[in-house]
Structure formats: C-alpha cells, structure tokens
Structure 1
Amino acid sequence: MYREIDGLRLHYNVFGKGAPILFIHGWGGSRCSMHSLAKHAARRFQCFTIDLPGFGKSENPPKHWGVKEYAQCILQFMKQQKIVPHYFGHSFGGELGIYIAAHHPASIRSLILCNSSFKRSRKISRTASLASQLNVNSYALIKKIYPFAKKIYYSLFHRGSDLLKYPALESNFRTIIFEDLTETTKIIKKPTLILWGENDTITPVLWAWELHRNIPRSKIVVVPKATHNLPITQPAIVWKELASFIS
C-alpha cells in the first residue's frame, strides 16, 4: 500500500488488529527488516511497517534531508493514518523516534529504542569528516591506498557501506552523520524501552546506558551476545521484551 506524504509516495504494510505499533527500520533497511518482529506483534496489535523515503519501494526524498525531515514524514504518515502508536525504532529509526518523542510527544504512546543511533563519537566524527570529502568513486581508490578503509566504511555506513549502496541518498546521509541528538534525549518524557545487543559494534552498548541515564522514564534490557541487527536476528526475544513493556 502507498500513502502520499508531501508529494512522496511512501510504501507501507499493516498487520493485525488492536492498539497500533509503528516499526521504523534503520538506514539501509526497509519495512521487510521489521516483518518478522511485526508478525509476532500482530497477534495482539495493529502493526505498521513503512519504507522510509529512499528505501524499499518508497520514492527518494529531496537532497539534504536530515533527521527533522525524515521525522516530519513519519509524523505526517501517522496523522494520515489517524494513529497514536507505540513507536519502535531500530538504529536510524530509533534516532527518528528520539526526535519525535522529544519534540512531538503527544504523537506517540511510548518509545522503544533498539540499538539506536543518536550520537557521534569522536572516532565516527573524524571518519565522517573524511568521508564527507569523498564521492562514491573515491572509495575504489582509497581502498587500494589504505587497507583499513573498507573496515572504516563498514563501521561508519552501518550495513556494509550504505553510502555506496544508496548513492541517491548520499547528500542526506552526509547530513545525518553529523547530527547529534544527545541533548535531545534529555528532554524525553515518554515511557521508553531501551533494547540493545550486548555485542553491537555499530552503536556500542555504552550508548544504551547513556540513554538510560538521560531518559528518566526508561527501562533498559541488554540481550547477551546479540549484535546490532537484534530485531532481525532475534525477533522472538525482541517481541517478548516489547510485549512485557507495553503491557
């Protein structure tokens, strides 16, 4: 199914009946990334999964979109669907949830952050500064010159160098990687579940504990031995914690 949001065709699916839950995927993913988890949740809830603009079957957004623009798109989708959902965000989807919960708290019932991005470490900031000066074709050259370049790109661009996989979103990604929502997390008042993989090397588990300190009404669950793609690799565990939190 499609919705038109500010001139963009946004693709989405709906599963089940009950109170609404909105599942938002990470950068480089799609609504399909959330389907296994959503099908667990659809036994008790009405579940919405969407393709963020530029991913899956949704149209590409304009250049230089950042967190605010992606979040506004989600807010418009919720308004059109006439839902006030529990919001589940994985990775970049969690970052959008942080923005929404802080600046539009009445639009959601609760916030679930799973291996969420929200800050820029010094290491990532330095690498991002280098990356922002490169174009897509630069990667082939730098890979030959620096043996560690591929590793840097893999860690920075989450799922195997997403910038290279989505060249149409290059300017958007370069905008987003410099945004830091650390201070924004401190004004969140919504009930929040922080769900993390212990062995996440993309968004380290230390970030989960920082979120827990910053968000007063938060609960934290760290899943042993799990990695960044927790909702994809272990949807049953994520659903168990999600259901317990919502109930």
Structure 2
Amino acid sequence: MTESSATSNFDNYIIELHDNLDRLREIPDVDEQCSVLIGDLAQAYSEHPSPMQTAMCLSSLFSGQKNILTFLRRASSKIELKKTKIEILQFLKFFVETASNKILPYAVELKTVLLIIFNVDSASDVRAAVFPILSQLMELSAGFPDMESEIDKMATTFLDQIGLQSSKTTATIKGLSLAFLGLLCKYFPEHMRKYADPLLLGQFLKYLHEHLVRDVVKFEMLIASGAMEGLIYYL
C-alpha cells in the first residue's frame, strides 16, 4: 500500500465511522462494524508508521469537520458504541506514542475530548481507557503554555473522583485518578501547588492508610497502588 492510498483509507475509515453513527438505530451490529473499521485503520497505520505516514494520519485523525475527535464527541453518550470507543482510545494511545511531539498542536483538543468521554460515559472500562493517553499528553506537554492553562480543569475533575464523588467511583477509577493527580504534580508542579498540600497529600495518605493499615474498608489493590504511585510522583 502506498502512503497516498493509506491516507485515503484513513479518511475513508473515519467518514464511514461517522456514517455508521448517523445510522446508529438502523445497524443492528453497529458497534462491531465500527470496531472493525478501527482495527483496519490501526493496521493500515502500523504497517507503515513512517514520519510521512504519521503526518498524514495526523491530518486524517484531527483535521476537518469529520475526524476522530468529532466522532468521539458525538459518540460519548452512546452506550451502543462501548467497544468502539475503547478500541479508538487504545489506538490513540499507540498513535500518540509514535507521533510524540507532533501531537502537541492537537494536545489540548484531544485532552478536552478525553475529559468529555470521562465525564459523560458511565462505563468504567471506557473511562479507564482515557488515562494512558492523558498521561502521555502530560509528559509531552510539560512546559507547553496551552496545556498549562488546562491543568485546573483536570485537577478538579479527578479530585472529585477521590473526594466529592468517591462513593460513586469504582476502585479502578479511584486508583487511576490518584496516580494521575500525582503525575500532574510531577509535570506541572507550579499549577498543582494550590491543590497539593494539604488537600492532595491528605488524600494520598488517607487512601494508603485505609487500604494498607486499617481493616475498616475492603482492601483494594488498585486504590492502594494508585495512591502509592501518585504519592511517588508527588514527592
């Protein structure tokens, strides 16, 4: 497959995803059909992950009115597309790894869509799939002014998961939120200082004490490891 034909395929896959979403109620196995498209897109990219291929895929994924982010925005509340959303997020994780700093012009928009999915979708495994990409973006965006202005939104979102909304939050999401908040402290210490001590430090220690010292709550390895990882990043 030539690079130009691969790029055309990227565009076609994404257009077809949007078409399937438009006909959501008419396609009985829409989630399966969409997930196959994502698999084909991922394979087309991974066969030739050259710098030129990456640039072309960036254009297909993030440019124009019908791209992967507009699809995710539209699909964020669609429980019928759970598998598709997870597979898109898994592909984006791989793509961000290979694109590296080339993703920066799209980093804030990608972060915004990831938070929309996290806040709108109720499935824990879909919500969990946003964290690896967010973590990659934070590492790549350290010192990037556009991302620095977004830190408060992320901090308050995930502090809620371990604080105000903790009774409704699964152990998986609590653990991932704790670790990610620590990561924010590592890469954006100035912006996280107002949350760090005593609020965030107190939460790390609270969850560690509950799950490693006290027998009052059910032990959850995911929460304990997330709190430990977050505390290590924090320190």
Q: TM-score, normalised by structure 1?
A: 0.31
Q: Which has the larger share of helix?
A: 2
Q: Work out which of the two has the higher radius of gyration on C-alpha atoms and give 1 or 2.
A: 2
Normalised TM-score (structure 2): 0.32
The structure showing larger relative contact order (alpha-carbon pairs under 8 Å, at least 6 residues apart) is 1
